[in-house]
Each structure stands twice: as structure tokens, then as C-alpha cells.
């Protein structure tokens, strides 16, 4: 007999079948409820974030337009001051005053507020000092003595800083210092 080799057939590797995979553990209703709450909270946070972002972009665009309109508003203010000497029944004076009232109403409606006021303390975060003037009875030291260019706030932020002249006490000269030192 020839050499007979009883070779056992080599089993082929098994591929996993659906019968071999255990069924997933049933998830409780509480797990689904928690997932829903987290997903809903994430969505609400996303919605609020995008709303705030949209509002900020809108505010920035409005601020840019208003910033461009401020010189026109200030020109109407200058025109109003120029026609103040005209009689009250003059149609030009009446028209300029009407224009100024409309501008003021528009800026107030948009939330634009003037910053500087004569006599109020100088605030370097909102005002830019462009000069100094001597103090007077109406204006104390460190207060705004004159407004060169009005500044404006818009939604709590600075649209444009004010340019002001600040009241300062006159510096003592050498003769005045010597007299104060000699006095008993």
C-alpha cells in the first residue's frame, strides 16, 4: 500500500456571523432621556451663541454707518449755531432747527449718547485731552473746560472719543514759590 496519509482537512477560518455577535444590551429609558436632555441643552447653547454673534455683527455694522453720519450731524449743529442770530420766524432758521431735532431724535433712537459735558471731571477712557485752560469759577481743576469735538457712546462702547480742553491750575512761578516759602 502506498503511503496513505490521512490528512485531516484544514478548517477554513471562520468569519463572524450575526449569530456569533451577542445582542446589544437593552438601553434604559433613563439613558435615552439623559441623552435627549444633553442634546437639547447643546442645541439651546448653540442657538444662543449664534444669536449673540448675529446681534454683535449687526451692532458693528450700525456703528460703522453712524460713525460715517456723525460729521453730517455736527455740520447741522454748526448750521444751527450760525442761524441762531436770525429772527425766530425766519424759514431758514426754522428749517435748520427742524433738521437738528430730527438728527437728535434719530441718534437718540439708535442709542447714541454724547460723552463730554463742560464742567464734568475729565475721563481719559472716554475723552482725549487736546489742550489745557486755566480754571475758573464754573470749571474746577481736572474738569472739562471746552469741548473741541464731541464724542459718542453706542451700546455702552465708545463710538468716537471726545476731544476736550481740560482745566488746569496755573503753575506757580519761581517768584510765587519764593514768597510762599518766606511767609512765616
Alpha helices of 6-155 — where are they, by DSSP H? 29-82, 91-110
Burial 34-45 (b: 16+ CB within 10 A, else e): eeeeeeeeeeee
**Rounded distance, CA 25 to CA 28, Å?**
9
More confident residue, 165 or 24: 165
- Residues composing the chain: 184
Alpha carbon distance 149, 154 (integer Å): 16
* Percent of the residues in the chain that have a pLDDT greater than 90, as a whole number: 61
Q: Which CATH superfamily is domain 114-184 in?
A: Head domain of nucleotide exchange factor GrpE (2.30.22.10)
136-145 average pLDDT score:
87
pLDDT in tens, 2-52: 555 556 666 666 665 655 666 665 677 888 889 999 999 999 999 999 999
pLDDT of residue 55: 94
Output the pLDDT for position 139: 85
Residue 160 to residues 76, 115, 129, 152: CA-CA distances in angstroms?
A: 18, 9, 14, 5
Judge contact between 155 and 122, C-beta under 8 A. Answer: no
Residue 25: predicted pLDDT? 58
**Domain ranges, ordered by start, for the chain:** 30-110, 114-184
- pLDDT confidence band for 164 (50 / 70 / 90): very high
CA angle 38, 44, 45 (to 5 degrees): 90
- This model's pTM is above 0.85: no
Asked whether residue 183 carries a pLDDT value surpassing 80, the answer given is no
Amino acid at each position: 500500500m502506498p503511503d496513505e496519509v490521512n490528512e485531516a482537512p484544514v478548517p477554513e477560518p471562520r468569519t463572524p456571523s450575526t449569530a456569533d455577535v451577542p445582542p446589544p444590551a437593552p438601553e434604559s429609558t433613563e439613558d435615552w432621556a439623559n441623552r435627549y436632555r444633553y442634546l437639547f441643552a447643546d442645541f439651546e447653547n448653540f442657538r444662543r451663541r449664534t444669536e449673540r454673534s448675529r446681534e454683535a455683527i449687526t451692532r458693528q455694522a450700525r456703528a460703522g454707518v453712524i460713525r460715517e453720519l456723525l460729521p453730517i450731524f455736527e455740520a447741522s449743529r454748526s448750521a444751527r449755531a450760525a442761524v441762531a442770530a436770525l429772527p425766530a420766524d425766519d424759514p431758514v432758521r426754522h428749517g435748520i432747527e427742524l433738521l437738528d431735532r430730527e438728527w437728535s431724535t434719530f441718534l437718540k433712537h439708535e442709542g447714541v449718547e454724547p460723552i463730554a459735558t463742560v464742567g464734568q471731571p475729565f475721563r481719559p477712557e472716554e475723552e482725549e485731552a487736546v489742550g489745557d485752560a486755566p480754571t475758573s469759577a464754573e470749571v474746577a481743576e481736572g474738569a472739562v473746560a471746552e469741548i473741541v469735538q464731541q464724542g459718542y457712546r453706542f451700546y455702552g462702547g465708545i463710538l468716537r472719543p471726545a476731544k476736550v480742553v481740560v482745566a488746569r491750575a496755573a503753575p506757580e512761578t519761581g517768584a510765587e514759590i519764593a514768597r510762599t516759602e518766606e511767609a512765616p
